[in-house]
Amino acid sequence: GLAAWAPYLVVAIGSALASYRFGLPLTFRSCFYPVLGEYTWGWLGDLIDGFTIVTVVSGVCTSLGLGAMQLVYGLQRMGAIDKTDDDTNAQVVAI
């Protein structure tokens, strides 16, 4: 529902505000400029951007892994592939 989309909305509004009002680039550290001020362009901003990259990559990898497992399970249910553990691991890695 709406609560699941709230974090995306907060980031979108923060990025839009920073870009439109302050003329800042569309990076995640720019969302913190109204709170942190010029500290945003120091090591703290680098830490924020680095943490953002790690969390985005982790989220994408998790989604891809879960999707591959669901795809393999669906193909096994349809009888298109065999149901052995060794084959399942290889099929998930192949996808």
- Cα 40 from chain centre: 22
Could you tell me which of 45, 44, 42 has the C-alpha nearest to residue 28? 45
pLDDT tens column, 38-79: 999 999 999 999 999 999 999 999 998 888 888 888 888 888
pTM of the predicted model, to two decimals?
A: 0.70
Number of other CB atoms surrounding residue 72 within 10 Å:
21
Q: How far apart are CA 78 and CA 25, in angstroms?
A: 49
